[in-house]
Amino acid sequence: MLEVKDLHAYYGKSHILQGVDMHVGKGEIVSLLGRNGVGRSTTCKAIMGLVPPIGSVRYNGVELAGKEPHQIARLGLGYVPEDRQVFPGLTTRQNLELGMKSARSNGRWTIEDAYELFPRLKERADTPAEVLSGGEQQMLSMCRTLMGDPELIIVDEPTEGLAPMIVEQVGRFLLEIAQRGVSILLVEQKLTIALRISQRVYVMGHGKIVFEGTPAELQANAQVRKEWLEV
Amino acid sequence: MFELFVFSIINGLVYGMLLFMLSSGLTLIFSMMGVLNFAHASFYMLGAYAAYQISVYVGFWPALIIAPLIIAFLGALTERYGLRHVHQYGHVAELLFTFGLVYVIDEIVHLIWGRLPVDYRIPPSLDFSLFTLFGASFPAYRGFMLLVSVVMFVVLYLVLTKTRVGMIVRASLSHPDMVRALGHNVPMVFTMVFALGTGLAGLAGVIAGNYFITEPGMAWAMGPIVFVVVVFGGLGSIVGALWASLIIGIIQTAAVAMPYSLADLFAVFGLQLTRDAPLADFWFLELARIAPILPYLLLVLILVFRPRGLMGTRET
Ligand SMILES: Nc1ncnc2c1ncn2[C@@H]1O[C@H](COP(=O)(O)OP(=O)(O)OP(=O)(O)O)[C@@H](O)[C@H]1O
Ligand SMILES: [Mg+2]
């Protein structure tokens, strides 16, 4: 459903993405791995139109390059940024409400679903979002995007800086929403969760895809792991 | 002394709320788009002239509604077809754009209405004395100005805190890109906020133009003081803008009414200065005469001691 071909992106003069090719099928969980600074987040932003994409990004046959981010979101793409970006000054509940694309929610997911997925959010419903812990903010950010009823969700480093127990919860959450029909493009640096839940993985290095395969194939390929992943 | 105090507070409130009508829009625009709109006071002037022109044909009351709407529409056009286009060239280009706009609007006003003040008057229905206090009368129109600005503040507050659009605006203050990625049309929200801000400036012009005087210099008279208020309150803070408006409004109004000088202050401590003391002109300068520079003095002080303003979140 998502097809990225020869995608380039620039920050000013620096050429960050140098021809990325990848695709995500319906119902798939796909991970995008790589070291710091290779351009994984930039790939996410270019797909969402937050960084001008050069090349082709097609979603269900529709060309996304050149569209506004809100138009892209309304086609059914969801994005959870690596820095979570919860809205300060608004409560947990208000953050979730803003995830809905219109006042009258008619998506598959309701705020009650979010509270069920993460009971912690219900306890914090009326707390200003900026005082939530890192883990709670991550849960909120993911659920907020879910409220917009995406068919495909791009989640950028959801486990960064979280305690192992919360990392487990995030993993279970991703599996749960995948089971309910949401495709996932997961950006990760740690292999643990990514290898366990995804059907396919991409490894990125210097603005290009350098490996594509199943988690098992990556496990078997010590050379790729050594050259592009291990620090 | 007590009556002076009471009158300064009341008149300061009127003037302060008028300043707030201008500064709230300016600070809202700044915090959403990062643009300091130099032309903000020009929209205030346009509001006064538009109200004058409309009231010539249909009277003051329709003008009170129509003129701000026209100014808001002009603001929307300015954002949509001017600023948004200039945005890609960076903030300096945006500043220069709004700066240029000041002169363009000045010239347009000269061309249409000439260089002399126009005869924009308080409506007869509001031209009476509301009450008399300590022997001085309080004009009904001043009460009306206060009423309009308080109503505007309450509406603005409710819209920002209680409505979905208000929530989208507040969310866009911190993470506009995230709001866009959630499927909200943030560029359109920007246009609406710009229209709202300029519309409020227009409304301020409508209700102040006939109380003060509607003439081509009124934008230049008001512009700097509004910037002082916004910086003093803290760029991007509406609550800060409210406090700064009231403080500056009251200080300035009070100072104008004070026939006291530093020499009087020394006299309180038993130090009698005479007219032939060194720098006597300075010591005997009445507060009323330095009132106009007080806001700028406050600006300098706040920049030195608290660069982010009363309640601002970022450095100026
Ligand atoms: N706003 C920006 N302006 C200029 N350069 C940027 C900007 N954002 C990222 N970069 C640069 O682009 C490169 C890729 O950044 P990106 O955020 O895509 O990396 P990443 O793979 O997500 O890594 P990580 O998230 O671990 O930092 C980096 O070298 C980074 O310094
Ligand atoms: Mg990243």
Stretch among B43-47, B130-134, B198-202 having the lowest mean pLDDT: B130-134
Average the pLDDT over B105-114 and give the result: 96
Residue A40 CB–ligand 1 contact under 6 Å: yes
Residue A36 has pLDDT above 70, yes or no: yes
- Tell me if A148 and B183 make a contact (CB, 8 A cut-off): yes
Residue B315 has pLDDT above 60, yes or no: no
Average the pLDDT over B67-85 and give the result: 96
Question: Tell me: the pLDDT tens digits for A135-184?
Answer: 999 999 999 999 999 999 999 999 999 999 999 999 999 999 999 999 99
What is the chain A residue with the closest CA to B164?
A103
**A111 Cβ neighbours under 8 A, 6+ residues apart:** A93, A96, A97, A147
Confidence of residue B197 (pLDDT cuts 50, 70, 90): very high
Write out the residues of chain B at the interface with chain A, using a CB-CB cutoff of 8 A.
164, 167-168, 170-171, 173-175, 177-187
Higher pLDDT, A155 or B134: A155
At B309 the pLDDT is 84
Confidence of residue A47 (pLDDT cuts 50, 70, 90): very high
At B313 the pLDDT is 64
Confidence of residue A107 (pLDDT cuts 50, 70, 90): confident
At A156 the pLDDT is 97
Q: What ligand 1 atom has the least distance to the C-alpha of A207?
A: 14
Nearest-CB residue to B183 (from A50, A73, A85): A73
- Tell me if B186 and A87 make a contact (CB, 8 A cut-off): no
Residue B5 has pLDDT above 90, yes or no: no
Residue B316 has pLDDT above 50, yes or no: no
Residue A39 CB–ligand 1 contact under 6 Å: yes
Counting residues of chain A whose pLDDT is more than 70, the rounded percentage is 100
What is the chain B residue with the closest CA to A94?
B167
On chain B, the residues whose CB falls within 8 A of the CB of A72 are 181
Average the pLDDT over B244-259 and give the result: 87
Residue A189 has pLDDT above 90, yes or no: no
Fold of the domain built from segment(s) A2-228? Rossmann fold (3.40.50)
Residue A11 CB–ligand 1 contact under 6 Å: yes
Centre of ligand 2 to C-alpha B216, Å, is 53
- Tell me if B171 and A98 make a contact (CB, 8 A cut-off): yes
DSSP labels, chain B: -HHHHHHHHHHHHHHHHHHHHHHHHHHHHHHHH----TTHHHHHHHHHHHHHHHHHHH-HHHHHHHHHHHHHHHHHHIIIIIIHHHGGG-HHHHHHHHHHHHHHHHHHHHHHH-SSPP-----GGG-SEEEEETTEEEEHHHHHHHHHHHHHHHHHHHHHHHSHHHHHHHHHHH-HHHHHHTT--HHHHHHHHHHHHHHHHHHHHHHHHTTS---TTHHHHHHHHHHHHHHHH-TT-HHHHHHHHHHHHHHHHHHHH---BHHHHHHHTT----TTSTTHHHHT-BHHHHGGGHHHHHHHHHHHH-TTTTT-SS--
**Mean pLDDT score of chain A, rounded to an integer?**
94
Among the bound ligands, the one closest to the CA of A204: 1
On chain B, the residues whose CB falls within 8 A of the CB of A144 are 182
Interface contact A90, partner B, CB < 8 A? yes
At B314 the pLDDT is 55
**Mean pLDDT score of chain B, rounded to an integer?**
90
Break chain A into its structural domains and give their ranges: 2-228
Residue A28 CB–ligand 1 contact under 6 Å: no
At B284 the pLDDT is 80
Counting residues of chain B whose pLDDT is more than 70, the rounded percentage is 98
0.90 surpassed by pTM:
no
Centre of ligand 2 to C-alpha A50, Å, is 14
Identify the residue whose C-alpha is closest to ligand 1 atom 2: A11
Question: Tell me: the pLDDT tens digits for B12-41?
Answer: 999 999 999 999 999 999 888 888 899 999
Centre of ligand 1 to C-alpha B179, Å, is 21
Residue B158 has pLDDT above 80, yes or no: yes
Residue B68 has pLDDT above 80, yes or no: yes
Task: Give the gap in angstroms from C-alpha A87 to the nearest C-alpha of chain B.
Answer: 5
Neighbours of ion ligand 2 (CB under 5 A): A 41, 82
Confidence of residue B152 (pLDDT cuts 50, 70, 90): very high
Centre of ligand 1 to C-alpha B294, Å, is 47
